[in-house]
Amino acid sequence: MSDGVMILLVFALIALLGGGTTALVLLIARRARARKERAYTAETVGTVVRVRPGGVERPTVVYVRYEVDGVSYECHETVKLSSEIIRLGPVPIGQRKRGKIASREGSRVRVAYLPGDPSRAILADNTGLMSE
């Protein structure tokens, strides 16, 4: 086998390993979220009490306080995004990304929690894999 073919095979293997690892991580994250969505059947409304702004290197995180049977709890999650195509007439010229949930202090958000353990919760409308 020539050196050129060997180098090509090595780069192909590296690309496949990286892509395979990324796909595996995304699959595991999606299944974990789906499992929580099935188990966390009780629901309440919480209030965003703190926002850790994101940027280029890290996602935005919201901290939400909610109450169940007179007991106060807090959970936090990274804000997931939805993407909308920006068009100039029929020509796509970019994307607009919006958070799936409100990420300002004082905003009200739906919280789904485990009926037997209200301290375990997720933000009900914050679904998806793309983080800010």
Does the pLDDT value for residue 113 go beyond 90? yes
Q: Percent of the chain having pLDDT more than 90?
A: 45
What is the SS3 assignment for 60? coil
pTM over 0.85: no
Give pLDDT, residue 105: 94
Give pLDDT, residue 130: 65
Q: Residues with Cβ < 8 Å from 105, sequence gap 6 or more?
A: 48, 49, 50, 51
